[in-house]
Amino acid sequence: MIDRAHVLDRLNEIVDPKSGQGLAAAGLVQGLALSASRAGFMIEVGAGDIALYEPVRLAAETLLAALPGIERAQVVLTSQADPAPYTPPEGAVRVRRGARLSDEAKAGMTPARPPSKGENPAHVKHIVAIASAKGGVGKSTAAVSLACAFRHLGWTVGLLDADIYGPSAPRMLGSDADPKVNADKKLEPIAAFGLKTMSIGFIVDEGAPMIWRGPMASSALNQLIHDVAWGSAEAPLDILIIDLPPGTGDIQLTLAQKLSLDGAVLISTPQEIALIDVRRGAVMFQKTGVAILGVIENMAYFVDPSTGEKVPIFGEGGARRTADDLGTPFLGEVPIDIALRQACDDGRPLVATDPQHPISQRFIAMAETLAARLNAKP
C-alpha cells in the first residue's frame, strides 16, 4: 500500500486558494482513504466556495491518480453544514446490556417529541423502514422479501436501499442498471421484479461512499428519497420500503426527522445479545416519534434435513419475548433457509420467483399483517 505521509506530502504541492498553504497543511484533506489501488478523500468548504475549489479538487484527483499503483482516484467536494447533533430528550431511557425494561422505563419510551412530520416524496402513500441496531441480521433480506410480498398482494411497491456505505439492492435484485433522469430532472427508479428501486449502488462506484462523512451520506440519502420519481399522480406508489443500514446513527435520524414514516419494522436474531440491540433500536425510534410496527425474528431455527427437527441455533423465542416486552406486535419468525440465502446471492428474490415457497408464504403473511396495521389496502 502507498505511504500515507508521502501522499499528504504530495497533496501539499497543491495550494489552498484561501490560506495559501498546502492542501494537507490547510486541513483540507479529510477522510483520506488509501488501498492498494484506490485513493480518495473529501474537501469540505463553505457553501459559497464550491466554484473556487473545483479546480483544486480536480488537481488533487489528478495528482492521486498519477501516484504509482493507483488505478482509481476520487476527490469529493462538499459544502454540507453539519446537521444539528441529536440530543436525546431529557430523561431518555438508556438500555443496559441484558436489562429488561421496567414499566417506568417503558412509560418513558412514549414519544418525547411529537411524531416527525417531515415531508414525504410526492405520490407515495405509505413509508415503512426496516431496521436493526445490529448488522447482518437480515434487514436487507427482509426488506426485499417484504417488498416482493406487498407486490404479490397487488401493491405498487418501491424499495429504497438507504445503506449508503454498504448498498445491497443491486446484488439482491441482480441489477446493475444506470438510472435515467426524466423530463422533471428526477431519477427514474430501476424496475426489478415488479419493484421500483433505488440505491446509491446504482449511482456511484462501489467504494466511493466509504470516504463520505455523516453529513454527506445524509445528503446522498436525501437525494435518493426526494430526487427520485417514486410515484406520479397517475401511478402513485402504495408503499415505499426502506432498507436501513445497521445502527442508530445519522442515516436513521435523518429519516426519522425528515420523513413522516408510517413506522419501522425491527429485525432480530433470537439470541440475547441481538435483542439488546433491538431494544436500543426501539428506544431510538420511539424517542423520535416513529411507531414500531412489529418485530421479525430472523434465523429463528434451522430444520435438520435428516430428521426434520427444528434446531434453535441462536436460542429460542427471544424476539417474541422482546416484542411483548416492548408492547409491539410480533410479526413472525423466519428460519434459516438455504433457498432464501441462495436467492439473495443470485439476485432472484425468493418471494418474487417462488411465492408458494413456505418462506415466501411467511413473508406474504407478514405483509398482510403490516397492511392491516397500516390500515390500508392498495
Footprint on this chain of Mg ion (rule: CB under 5 A): 139-140, 168
Residue 121 contacts ligand ATP per CB under 6 A: no
Residue 74 contacts ligand ATP per CB under 6 A: no
| Alpha carbon distance 132, 247 (integer Å) | 6
Residue 16 contacts ligand ATP per CB under 6 A: no
Which residue has the closest beta carbon to Mg ion?
140
| Alpha carbon distance 275, 320 (integer Å) | 10
Cite the DSSP H helix spans in 93-248: 103-108, 139-152, 169-172, 214-226
**Pairing between β-strand 38-44 and β-strand 190-192 as defined by DSSP bridges:** unpaired
Binding window for ligand ATP (CB under 6 A); candidates: 137-145, 192-200, 284-292, 322-330: 137-145
Q: Is 360 helix (H, G, I), strand (E, B) or coil?
A: helix
Residue 312 contacts ligand ATP per CB under 6 A: no
| Alpha carbon distance 76, 79 (integer Å) | 10
Q: Which 317-346 positions form the footprint of ligand ATP (CB under 6 A)? A: 334, 336-337, 340-341, 344
DSSP letter at 305 equals T
Which residues lie closer than 8 Å to 266 by C-beta, 6 or more apart?
Answer: 131, 132, 278, 281, 282, 292, 294, 295, 296, 328
| Alpha carbon distance 189, 178 (integer Å) | 9
**Of the candidates 31, 108, 111, 166, which one interacts with ligand ATP according to CB under 6 A?**
166
Which of ligand ATP, Mg ion, none lies near 74, with the C-beta cut-off 5 to 8 A by kind? none
Kindly determine how many residues on this chain lie close enough to bind ligand ATP according to the rule CB under 6 A.
Answer: 21
Binding window for ligand ATP (CB under 6 A); candidates: 58-66, 78-86, 162-170, 306-314: 162-170
Torsion angles phi and psi, residue 113, rounded to 5: -130, 160
Which of ligand ATP, Mg ion, none lies near 161, with the C-beta cut-off 5 to 8 A by kind? none
Which of Mg ion, ligand ATP, none lies near 298, with the C-beta cut-off 5 to 8 A by kind? ligand ATP
**Of the candidates 161, 163, 238, 277, which one interacts with ligand ATP according to CB under 6 A?**
163
Q: Is 93 helix (H, G, I), strand (E, B) or coil?
A: coil
**Of the candidates 120, 140, 197, 322, which one interacts with ligand ATP according to CB under 6 A?**
140
Contact residues toward ligand ATP (CB under 6 A) are: 132, 135-141, 163, 166, 168, 245-246, 298-299, 334, 336-337, 340-341, 344
